[in-house]
Amino acid sequence: MLIKIQNLKKEYISDNVVTKVLHGVSFNIDQGEFVSIMGPSGSGKSTLMHILGLLDRSSSGLYEFAGQNVNELNDNQLASFRNEKIGFVFQSFNLLPKTSVLDNVILPLTYSNNRKNMSERAKKVLDSVGLGHRLHFFTNQISGGEKQRVAIARALVNNPSVILADEPTGNLDSKSGIQIMEILQKLNEMGNTIILVTHETFTAEHAKRIIKIKDGLIISDEPVIKQRVAQEGVLLK
């Protein structure tokens, strides 16, 4: 079991007002799964994804990642956990501006313990997402779809245990969106664990399992009966 979540709660306190976002969610995710976390905005799915990505801490409940209770980790350990075990793909790409595609992909490597052949490793991953010809372009010189592929390359470069994609197609046109979903599905076929956060049913159905969340609670957790296969040319909606 890769991820074990039990009765996870999250509340924010500001000006003495307590806002409960997660009311106690529990689920497990195994190695090699492709899971969508789906819910409308305000459902708590972003908060859940932040906690899953070790960017935020839960208020209570258990979160075990690869057998490690992450509540016991300090900030530094969390940082290296994020670096080694988690690859992020964000809706707004979050690439460094005025920086080359290659340097963006090298970035996570510079924070890791294995800093050998960084450039070669980054190039290899960029090749695999079809961006071998864009290495020295600045991130503001490439298209949105290409940006998201750079982000995927950056997420992959450290061989993470899980890829967390937060609305990865949200800022893309449908054609680029399909390309991204195709890449994610291929990565899953190759054995990567992927967690996809989205509010769209269509996008969510590219996964093998959907966890639906509403008002801070899980309302359903079911396998996808007919997984959509992303292929270029397939029209959305």
Partner 1 sequence: MNYLSFKQAIRTSIKALLTNKVRSFLTMLGIVIGVASVIIIMSLGAGAQSLILGQVQSIGSNVVSITPGKSDESGPPTSVLGIVVTSLNLDDLKSIEKAKDAIGVDSAVAYVDGNGTLTYKNNSYDASLEGVTEDYLEVEGGNLSAGRFFTEEEINNISKVVILGSNVKQELFSDSDAIGKRIKIKKQVFEVIGVFEERGQVAFQNYDDKVLLPIKTMQKVLVGIDYVNVISFKTNEAFEVDSVISEVENILRDNHNIKDQTGASDDFSVRSITELLDLISSVTDALKYFLALMASLSLIVGGIGIMNIMLISVNERTREIGVRKALGASNKNIISQFLIESIFLTSIGGFIGIILGIMISWLLSVIITTLGYDWVFIVSFWSIFMAVVVSGLIGLIFGIYPAKKASKLEPVEALNYE
**Closest Cα partner for 4 from 69, 58, 49?**
69
Considering the rule CB under 8 A, would residue 216 count as an interface residue with partner 1?
Answer: no
Should residue 30 be labelled a site residue for partner 1 when binding is judged by CB under 8 A? no
| Residue among 6, 68, 110, 231 that touches partner 1 (CB under 8 A) | 110
Least spacing, CB of residue 21 vs partner 1, in Å: 12
Residue choice 98, 191, 222, 232 for contact with partner 1 (CB under 8 A): 98
Among 7, 26, 68, 94, binds partner 1 (CB under 8 A): 94
Paired residues of 194 in beta bridges: 34, 163
Q: Which ranges of 53-110 would DSSP assign to H, the alpha helix?
A: 75-85, 101-110
For residue 213, the cross-strand partners are 218
Least distance in angstroms from the C-beta of 237 to partner 1 = 29
Is the Cβ–Cβ distance between 123 and 102 less than 8 Å?
yes
The phi and psi torsions of 14 (rounded to 5 degrees) equal: -140, 135
Least distance to partner 1 from the beta carbon of 56, Å?
5
To partner 1, the closest distance from the beta carbon of 94 in angstroms equals: 5
Q: What is the dihedral of CA 45, 49, 52, 54, to 10 degrees?
A: -130
Sign of the Cα pseudo-torsion (56, 58, 63, 69, in order): positive
Distance CA 62, CA 143 (A): 40
Of 28 and 112, nearer to partner 1 (C-beta) is 112
Query: Residues 9, 23, 50, 208: which binds partner 1 (CB under 8 A)?
Result: 50
Q: How far is the CB of 156 from partner 1 (least distance, A)?
A: 12
Looking at the Cβ atoms of 94 and 141, the one nearer to partner 1 is 94
Phi and psi at 171, nearest 5°, equal: -105, 15
Contact indicator for 54, 81 with CB cutoff of 8 Å:
yes
Answer whether 210's CB lies under 8 Å from 200's CB: no
Identify which of residues 159 and 220 has a Cβ nearer to partner 1 in the complex. Answer: 159
Candidates 2-10, 32-40, 103-111, 174-182; binding stretch for partner 1 (CB under 8 A): 103-111
**Of the two residues 54 and 230, which places its CB atom closer to partner 1 in the complex?**
54
Binds partner 1 by CB under 8 A, chosen from 99, 161, 171, 227 = 99
Site for partner 1 in 139-158 (CB under 8 A): 154, 158
